[in-house]
Structure 1
């Protein structure tokens, strides 16, 4: 039940965050903006998610993981509703609210899963839960273009906002929020505590750095895939959205496979290093794909790259929970994800700047390949600092 619940919440918040990248070609025309500016939207979302994730880990202790998840769903819904107005300032506020709702969801789920999962199965269980991220992207890629064709992009955003509010059910709170500490004091001191946590743990620092590098590539790929296929290969919005759905579905499969491989054979650190190498190679392939390729070879490449670029998160979060001090999985996850989201803030805007300067997206893919390549080296050099045999 815990795994199902956390996966559903993760899927819905991910769908909320990724509706705009799917609808970007239509929204950009109506708002008078170039499509490449969607990278700035993603940067705003995850800029807000950084402090929300850190504070969310602390809020879980005070209010419980279910209450924090409910708040995240409702805040994301309000953000989507504000985007529908079309005012640049309200779009700015909407993006920030979506990030503020998205951020606390993962610390809340890590808290619940770390208490209910045997150590030997952490990689698989966290990977299954993290399939919610690409699953949400697949839902956005599948439904957003269809909803846009029938009710417009504003109607599509409002429909998802209503879905999020319906999911914020109260009935599941009691059995899962019983360990909350009502007297726990919230405050900005949590940032100092999490900084000290990272300072004391070389393994958590390495994971934080690797996640920064991984997220620069992951969100650049997710943010610009539809626009890349639409502008470079001439795909219709519906066809590009379906390709994005297939890519996200590959991420779902990848997360489960990599979680099993990490638990049974390679260990988390070696698995993450292997995925880092695959991401760097995948970026090079995406940069060199000829525009004459047919839809099926192109789909195959996108899906293979996406299985790696979208598949590392579950194995990564399981290792964070394993390396965290006892009872501090939620807080450690909040600290690490603040670094992960910092990579998201940097990656898509950097990708957009390179694409704008060069008039295309190929060189941008080559540039962001550097992040995963550096992460692979860091994981290899620091492998001896991890507490367990991974």
Structure 2
């Protein structure tokens, strides 16, 4: 059962990433059909994460009401419907479909957290959550590999409808497990009585609040590293475009390795806050080294340092998600996951425009990595505060136990 749960949650997350990134992988074809620029197609990411923020806010009560399996099926249904709508060459429909895809995307992690906590061993939770989070870059790899090929062979619209068919297949496959996975659901749970319940839970518990703010910082760092590596290499460090593209692939692979590796480290240490602190330290050091790079640096050294930076800056997610399950009350894990992810998605929405704006003022990418290093250092301080809050909480619980 644990392996099936891990495989199912990973594939659902990978599919959500595939749908989210599929249009970007066929941006020229889609832009021509819509009569807009490729850059306009790229704005779809903002709409997706706006939708994800909305559904993450009710992810907890929705998961309790429907059950984690049915919530995952609903997520696939929204993602499949969005893919079908994206096949319609209309800009308003494209915007609506992107928002719907985001609603489906935001439901994946709260339901997955409940399933993984219930059906997998706690001592391996860091590695398990990291393996599940590897579904995000896996979806990106699948989008890059399949979308252009489908567009050339069967057409971009048929390619998107293929995703709708995959979503339907996933819904049917999950139906076999629904009775066992949703047997603890609470059908009378109100969805919109307190739509900000998850956010309030996170904000009121200091340790959770600081870890959520850490995710805001690191999602902004992650997006910046992913989005600007090629431009950094070409414009600031005299790499060729093809070379830079290969380095970008290596950076993404390093991120996947980092996600799994840091999850294993967290389990071995038995302390995921310490693991997040180590991630923050290595990210700070790596970003500051990138900030002082010049075209005179050997290319092998540049590539090595960027890959080492991505191990941490792209590899923190699984440890973060696993720590949420440790800090949250057991009966409110889905609420806590949804509330924390609102902060995470906020970092995605804020990070790219901020770095883009600063690049317009500075004119180079390397100095901006010093800013990313500063944000990472602030993330380290947040983890220190989370640890202090956790120590105080545990001390308070011990005191009340003695009093009783």
Same fold (TM over 0.5): yes
Residue 189 of structure 1 aligns to a residue whose secondary structure is coil
Determine which of 368, 371, 377 is the counterpart of 1:373.
377
Q: Structure 1 residues 288, 138: CA separation in 2 closer, same or farther (over 3 Å shift)? A: farther
Determine which of 312, 330, 333 is the counterpart of 1:329.
333
In structure 1, the residue matched to 2:137 is 134
Residue 166 of structure 2 aligns to a residue whose secondary structure is helix
Residue pair 2:56, 2:107 contacting (<8 A) in 1 also: yes
Q: Structure 1 residues 151, 353: CA separation in 2 closer, same or farther (over 3 Å shift)? A: farther
Shift of 1:89: 2.0
In structure 1, the residue matched to 2:398 is none
- Alignment size in residue pairs: 385
CA distance in 1, matches of 2:41, 2:233: 15
Shift of 1:350: 2.3
In structure 2, the residue matched to 1:16 is 19
Q: Which has the larger radius of gyration?
A: 2
Residue 331 of structure 2 aligns to a residue whose secondary structure is coil
In structure 1, the residue matched to 2:93 is 90
In structure 1, the residue matched to 2:346 is 342
In structure 2, the residue matched to 1:263 is 267
Residue pair 2:199, 2:336 contacting (<8 A) in 1 also: no
In structure 2, the residue matched to 1:33 is 37
Residue 260 of structure 1 aligns to a residue whose secondary structure is helix
Shift of 1:57: 1.6
* Deviates most, 304-313 or 325-334: 304-313
In structure 2, the residue matched to 1:235 is 241
In structure 2, the residue matched to 1:250 is 254
Which runs of no fewer than 5 residues in structure 2 stay unpaired? Answer: 395-404
CA distance in 1, matches of 2:235, 2:22: 19
In structure 2, the residue matched to 1:61 is 64
CA distance in 2, matches of 1:244, 1:4: 27
Residue pair 2:211, 2:386 contacting (<8 A) in 1 also: no
Whether 2:105 is the aligned partner of 1:110: answer: no
Residue pair 2:27, 2:38 contacting (<8 A) in 1 also: no
Shift of 1:132: 1.2
CA distance in 2, matches of 1:29, 1:221: 29
Residue pair 1:258, 1:315 contacting (<8 A) in 2 also: yes
1:89-119 Cα offsets, whole Å, 9 max, x none, are 2222122111111001000000111112333
Residue pair 2:234, 2:241 contacting (<8 A) in 1 also: yes
Residue 79 of structure 2 aligns to a residue whose secondary structure is helix
Q: Structure 1 residues 24, 226: CA separation in 2 closer, same or farther (over 3 Å shift)? A: farther
CA distance in 1, matches of 2:147, 2:298: 24
In structure 2, the residue matched to 1:180 is 185
Which runs of no fewer than 5 residues in structure 1 stay unpaired? Answer: none
In structure 2, the residue matched to 1:48 is 51
Residue 341 of structure 1 aligns to a residue whose secondary structure is helix
In structure 2, the residue matched to 1:189 is 194
CA distance in 2, matches of 1:60, 1:48: 17
Q: Superposition RMSD on alpha carbons, in Å?
A: 3.2
